[in-house]
Amino acid sequence: MRDALDGLHTWAHGRRVVLTGRTRVFARQRLVRGLLRSVSWPASSELTGGRTVGATARPLLEALFPDRPSAHWDAVHAELEEIAAELAARYADGRWLLRPESWATGQATCDLLYGVVRTMTPDVVLETGTANGHLTVHLLQAIQRNGRGRLHSTDHDGRAGPLVDPEERARWTLHVVDWKRPRRSWAAVLRSVGPLDVFFHDSDHAYSWQRREYEDAMRQLRPGGVLASDDIQASYAYLDACAAHGLRPVILVEEWKMAGAALTPY
């Protein structure tokens, strides 16, 4: 690392300047801190400190959309109860599942994303990491009730989403990401989807891939869109992305993991 830093150059007023002395030490410290941050995970206090935090979706939705009356959230809650009963029936009907049922997105996180979509009535929603489609069903039900919009989902397996029923698939596109060429496949998905209103990450939780998804999504999110993610405790990626773009996320604490959602500025 020292040899690499000894050869590091910067440009000032058109002249090449070799980094030496304190400047070299500072550069080395920044590099080490960056490497450590990319392979570690945040403490709970770093995720929750100074932010709106909740164990259920409603207080977070009310913080994101403070102009909505209580009756709106009451209606959303009633709809979520109907979806829960419908999904329970689908799990019980003996259909084949791609992943264990325990892999499903947490119920409070599904409630949060459902409320976001029902409130925003977005045109384009993108989720990554479909698996059985537990969250996918919630998003599609919200889109159907809105009477507008389309859901795009990604997974490495073209059989993903077995919980999605045939009548829900008219507003759904599943994109298969090639696990051997994930960057190329992901870039192709983004080109085909175009501008986004809501983005939700739930795929590879390594720092580098999480940050890639967040940054790519931010470039395509319309003003006033939502950048949301599951498993934000898995790395510093969500905190770093929000800080880089001046976003103030709300934090959902659900059992052993956390999710976040942030509105992008207009």
pLDDT in tens, 147-165: 999 999 999 999 999 999 9
Quick one: pLDDT at residue 38?
74
Give dist(CA 235, CA 215) in Å, integer.
15
Residues 124-134 have a mean pLDDT of 98
Tokens coding 157: 């397996």
Give dist(CA 104, CA 110) in Å, integer.
9
Per residue in 70-99, pLDDT (tens digit) is 999 999 999 999 999 999 999 999 999 999
In DSSP terms, which residues pair with 221 in a beta bridge? 196
Handedness of CA 203, 209, 214, 217 (dihedral sign): negative
Side chain identity at residue 112, one-letter code = L
Q: Which CATH class is domain 44-263?
A: alpha beta
Ranges of H-type helices in the chain: 2-6, 21-38, 44-48, 57-64, 70-92, 107-120, 134-146, 182-193, 207-220, 237-244
- Residue spans per domain, the chain: 2-38, 44-263
Quick one: pLDDT at residue 29?
52
